[in-house]
C-alpha cells in the first residue's frame, strides 16, 4: 500500500485552509470531509465578520468557496469519514467508513467540535432563525432586542456579557441554584443591569414558526411555567471536540480538546497535527480556525521535507 503524503481530516475552515496551503506546496493532500462537510458553518446563517466578504456571506456559500479554492490548486476532496486510526506505526494507518485502510506520512486533524444542544425539537428547526450557539458570531443580528442565554458556566457568562453590550435585555437561565462560572465572571454578570439571571430554570420549548418569538421556561421545584418574550436563544452549555476516533493515541486535555505544542500545531505524535476548533476551546471562530489550518499545513510541509530527505 503506497502511503499518501498528507491526509487532512475535516472539511471546515481549518481543513480547507490547510488543503489550500498544502496543495500549493505540492503535497497533493487528500481531504476527508467527514459526516458534516463544511463543519458548523453549514448550519450558520449570514457570516459578516470574516475578512474579504464585504457584504457578508452565508456559511454554506463560504465553505463552498473554500472547497473550490482548495480544489483549484489540486487538493482532492472526498466525502468519506475517518472512523478510527492506528498511530502506533509509521506511516500512520487510518480506516474509512467503508472499512478501507489507508496510510499517510502526515495527518492534519481538523475535525472540529460540536455544540452541545438542549435536544428540543424546535431547536434544530429554528437554528439560524434565532437559535444560536455563538454570541460573537450572531449577536449583532439581535442589537437592541431581547435574548435568552442558557448555561451556568464561564461560556454562558461570557456570552451573556457580550450580548449585554448589544441587546436591550439578556435573560440568563441557570439549571441549578447557583452558577458554575468563576467568581469574577459571576460578579460581572450580576453587575450588568440588563442581565437577569433565572436560577433553577430550564427551557421547556421554543415558540415561533419562522423565527424565535418567545422561550417557554419551567422553574424547579415549583414546576411553574413562564413565557419570556425574546427574539433569540443562545445555547451556551459547552462544545464537544470530535476527538473520539483519535484516542488513545492523541493527548487531549480534561475537556477532550487536542493539546498542541506551544506556538505550533504539533501533537504528541510526530507527523500528526491539529487545527481548528478540535484544539481551540477559547475562540472557536472561522478566521482563527483558518489561521491554524495554515499553520498546520506549514508544519506538515516542514515535517515531510525532513522525513522524505531522510528516506
Q: Are residues 216 and 251 in the same domain?
A: no
Q: Are residues 290 and 248 in the same domain?
A: yes
DSSP state of 2: P
Task: Tell me the H-state helices in the chain.
Answer: 13-24, 59-72, 121-125, 135-138, 154-164, 183-191, 286-309
Res 308: pLDDT: 87
Res 45: pLDDT: 67
What's the structural domain count of the chain?
A: 2
- Total-model pTM: 0.82
Range of the domain at 257: 4-115+239-309
- Helix and strand numbers, DSSP H then E, in the chain: 7, 19
Strand partners, 101: 95
Res 155: pLDDT: 86
- Residues 204/217, Cβ–Cβ less than 8 Å: yes
Which 3 state secondary structure label does DSSP give 68? Answer: helix
Res 217: pLDDT: 98
Q: Are residues 253 and 107 in the same domain?
A: yes
DSSP string, 108-126: EE---EEE-----HHHHHT
Strand partners, 94: 85, 102
Res 212: pLDDT: 98
In tens digits, the chain (311 residues) has pLDDT values of: 899 999 999 999 999 999 999 999 999 999 999 888 888 787 666 788 899 999 999 888 999 999 999 999 999 999 999 999 999 999 999 999 999 999 999 999 999 998 899 999 999 899 999 999 999 889 999 999 999 999 999 889 999 999 999 999 999 999 999 999 999 999 999 999 999 999 999 999 999 999 999 999 999 999 999 999 999 999 999 889 999 999 999 999 999 999 999 999 999 999 999 999 999 998 889 999 999 999 999 999 999 999 988 86
- In whole angstroms, give the CA distance from residue 226 to residue 242: 36
C-alpha cell at 282: 477559547
Q: Which of 235, 259, 287 is the last residue of a domain?
A: 235
Q: Are residues 28 and 49 in the same domain?
A: yes
Q: For residue 151, which of 128, 180, 123 has the smallest C-alpha distance?
A: 180
Would you please indicate which residues are annotated as catalytic (active-site) residues? 134, 137-138
Q: Are residues 92 and 168 in the same domain?
A: no
Res 1: pLDDT: 82
CA angle 162-284-72, nearest 5°?
135
Q: Are residues 294 and 228 in the same domain?
A: no
Res 43: pLDDT: 66
Q: Which of 219, 235, 251 is the last residue of a domain?
A: 235
Amino acid at each position: 500500500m503506497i502511503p499518501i503524503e498528507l491526509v487532512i481530516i475535516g472539511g471546515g475552515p481549518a481543513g480547507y485552509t490547510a488543503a489550500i496551503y498544502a496543495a500549493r506546496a505540492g503535497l497533493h493532500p487528500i481531504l476527508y470531509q467527514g459526516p458534516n462537510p463544511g463543519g458548523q458553518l453549514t448550519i450558520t446563517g449570514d457570516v459578516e465578520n470574516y475578512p474579504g466578504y464585504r457584504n457578508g456571506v452565508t456559511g454554506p456559500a463560504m465553505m463552498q468557496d473554500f472547497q473550490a479554492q482548495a480544489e483549484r490548486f489540486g487538493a482532492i476532496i472526498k466525502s468519506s469519514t475517518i472512523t478510527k486510526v492506528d498511530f502506533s506505526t509509521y506511516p500512520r494507518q487510518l480506516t474509512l467508513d467503508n472499512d478501507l485502510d489507508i496510510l499517510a506520512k502526515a495527518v492534519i486533524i481538523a475535525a472540529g467540535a460540536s455544540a452541545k444542544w438542549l435536544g428540543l425539537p424546535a431547536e434544530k428547526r429554528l437554528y439560524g432563525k434565532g437559535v444560536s450557539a455563538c454570541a460573537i458570531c450572531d449577536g449583532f443580528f439581535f442589537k437592541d432586542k431581547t435574548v435568552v442565554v442558557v448555561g451556568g458556566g464561564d461560556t454562558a457568562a461570557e456570552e451573556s456579557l457580550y450580548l449585554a453590550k448589544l441587546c436591550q435585555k439578556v435573560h440568563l437561565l441557570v439549571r441549578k441554584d447557583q452558577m458554575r462560572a468563576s467568581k469574577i465572571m459571576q460578579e460581572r454578570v450580576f453587575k450588568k443591569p440588563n442581565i437577569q439571571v433565572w436560577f433553577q430554570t430550564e427551557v421547556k420549548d421554543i415558540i415561533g414558526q419562522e423565527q424565535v418569538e418567545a422561550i417557554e421556561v419551567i422553574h424547579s421545584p415549583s414546576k411553574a411555567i413562564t413565557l419570556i418574550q425574546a427574539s433569540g436563544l443562545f445555547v451556551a452549555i459547552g462544545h464537544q471536540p470530535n476527538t473520539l476516533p483519535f484516542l488513545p493515541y492523541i493527548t487531549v486535555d480534561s475537556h477532550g480538546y487536542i493539546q498542541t505544542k506551544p506556538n505550533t500545531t504539533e501533537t504528541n505524535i510526530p507527523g500528526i497535527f491539529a487545527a481548528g476548533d478540535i484544539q481551540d476551546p477559547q475562540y472557536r471562530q472561522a478566521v482563527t480556525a483558518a489561521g491554524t489550518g495554515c499553520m498546520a499545513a506549514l508544519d506538515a510541509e516542514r515535517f515531510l521535507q525532513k522525513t522524505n530527505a531522510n528516506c
